[in-house]
């Protein structure tokens, strides 16, 4: 995403998020690092997309270094959504999460077989 996310582009932003969720396999990373401005409506669209992603079994991560991070912080959305300062941080967090999940799955499988 680049530029501004405001009422003028909100419909396109929302439909783009919807398409990305439909096409995602497990994880969707929304990179807002090049967004110069995000309105509260844009932030709300992220919350709605996050809910939809969860329903579809998709982990939605947001990289929001820069001006967009202020909107997310002021609205408190950064405490609700999975926001990271950089794409690299978001991917590393997801990698760690998936790695821990695999270890838990192996542990559960092991316990089932030995029990």
Quote the CA–CA distance of 102 and 72 in Å, as a whole number. Answer: 31
To the question of pTM greater than 0.85 for the whole model, the response is no
State whether residue 35 is helix, strand or coil. Answer: strand
Per-residue tens of pLDDT for the chain, all 115 residues: 789 999 999 999 999 999 999 999 999 999 999 999 999 999 999 999 999 999 999 999 999 988 889 999 999 999 999 999 999 999 999 999 888 765 544 434 343 333 4
With vertex at residue 40, the alpha carbon angle to CA 94 and CA 37, rounded to the nearest 5 degrees, is 80
């Amino acid at each position: 995403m680049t530029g501004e996310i405001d009422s003028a582009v909100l419909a396109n932003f929302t439909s783009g998020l919807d398409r990305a969720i439909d096409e995602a396999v497990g994880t969707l990373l929304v990179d807002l690092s090049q967004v110069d401005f995000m309105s509260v409506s844009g932030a709300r669209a992220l919350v709605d997309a996050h809910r939809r992603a969860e329903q579809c079994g998709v982990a939605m991560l947001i990289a929001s270094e820069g001006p967009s991070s202020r909107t997310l912080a002021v609205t408190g959305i950064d405490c609700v959504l999975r926001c990271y300062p950089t794409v690299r941080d978001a991917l590393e967090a997801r990698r760690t999460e998936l790695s821990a999940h695999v270890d838990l799955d192996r542990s559960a499988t092991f316990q089932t077989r030995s029990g």
